[in-house]
Amino acid sequence: MSDCIFCRIAAGEIPAQRVHEDEHVVAFHDLHPQAPTHVLIIPRRHLVSLHAAGDEEGLLLGRLLLAAREIAERLGIGTGYRVVTNCGASAGQSVFHLHLHVLGGRPLGWPPG
């Protein structure tokens, strides 16, 4: 989608500080970090949110989660981090291209706001 900012980041049209990319997945540092480490993991293919994913996306969703684990380990937060995906504006989603937030590097409270 040409008007989707994360599609444009995946395509290399908008710069981002990338920490991982492969055929299916791109990961980069969040522009407005909420923790010392705050990475976003997106599928290259446009999907609005987790809620728009069907059974056929199971493998892709697994790839996103496994990328989260690998990146957390590599960035030194493997002993404590959070993986979050906001689904819908009322849950805080502001970019409507599926993404996982990977947060770590500080104590993370629960419940979240």
Count of residues of this chain found to bind ligand DGP when the rule CB under 6 A is applied: 14
Q: Is 99 labeled as catalytic in the residue annotation?
A: yes
Taking CB under 6 A as the criterion, the residue among 10, 19, 25, 28 binding ligand DGP is 28
Taking CB under 6 A as the criterion, the residue among 93, 98, 102, 103 binding ligand DGP is 93
Amino acid at 49: S
Token pair, residue 98, equals 């599926």
Taking CB under 6 A as the criterion, the residue among 11, 52, 92, 106 binding ligand DGP is 92
Beta bridge partners of 81: 104
Measured torsion, CA atoms of residues 8, 29, 97, 51, in degrees rounded to the nearest 10: 160
Token pair, residue 32, equals 């407005």
Which residues would be at the binding site for ligand DGP (CB under 6 A)?
Answer: 5, 14, 16, 28-32, 40, 86, 92-95
